[in-house]
């Protein structure tokens, strides 16, 4: 699957389709292990190349943020909406895992979207620098 399915061909869809989600535990573990982080005041973004033509979103909102499940789910909804709206501005081909930076967070969509695009580009830039550094070290070793 090269791109998430677009239900209305010929029109640019801004929906958040299931193909745009990081679901499996192994994908989350790969992102935490191999990804690069960028921290802001609202969230921490972990970016990891996914080998696909589109980006995906993973959310990690634990009980440390809110004990109440309703409030944790609100944080998830706001993060998901910010990703959906900022999707065209994010680099393609990466998994982005979003983690709230502080407990008792009451995020707003516009602020989260601005921070997501900034931190997403920063984390991807770190991924690229890391890959170049690894390639140079590997070339020097051989």
Model-level pTM?
0.85
Range of the domain at 94: 18-141
Average pLDDT over residues 59-77: 92
pLDDT digits (tens, 9 = 90+) for 69-83: 999 999 999 999 999
Domain count across the chain: 1
Please give the sequence-ordered ranges of beta strands (E in DSSP) within 1-142, or none if there are none: 36-39, 43-49, 56-59, 94-100
What CATH number does residue 86 fall under? 3.30.230.10
Helix 69-86 vs helix 109-141: crossing angle, to nearest 10: 70
Q: Is 3 contained in some domain?
A: no
Tokens 């109440």 found at:
68
Q: Is 10 contained in some domain?
A: no
- Buried/exposed 12-28: b ≥16 CB within 10 Å, e otherwise: eeeebeeebbbeeeebb
77 compared with 10, residue with greater pLDDT: 77
């Amino acid at each position: 699957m090269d791109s998430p399915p677009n239900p209305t061909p010929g029109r640019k869809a801004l929906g958040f389709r299931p193909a745009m989600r990081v679901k499996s535990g192994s994908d989350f573990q790969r992102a935490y292990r191999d990804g690069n982080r960028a921290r802001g005041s609202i969230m921490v973004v972990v970016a990891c190349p996914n080998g696909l033509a589109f980006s995906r979103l993973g959310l990690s909102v634990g009980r440390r943020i809110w004990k109440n499940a309703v409030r944790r789910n609100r944080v998830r909804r706001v993060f998901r909406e910010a990703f959906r709206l900022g999707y065209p501005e994010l680099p393609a081909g990466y998994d982005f895992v979003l983690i709230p930076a502080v407990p008792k967070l009451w995020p707003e969509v516009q602020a989260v979207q601005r921070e997501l695009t900034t931190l997403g580009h920063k984390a991807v830039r770190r991924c690229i620098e890391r890959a170049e550094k690894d390639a140079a070290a590997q070339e020097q070793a051989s």
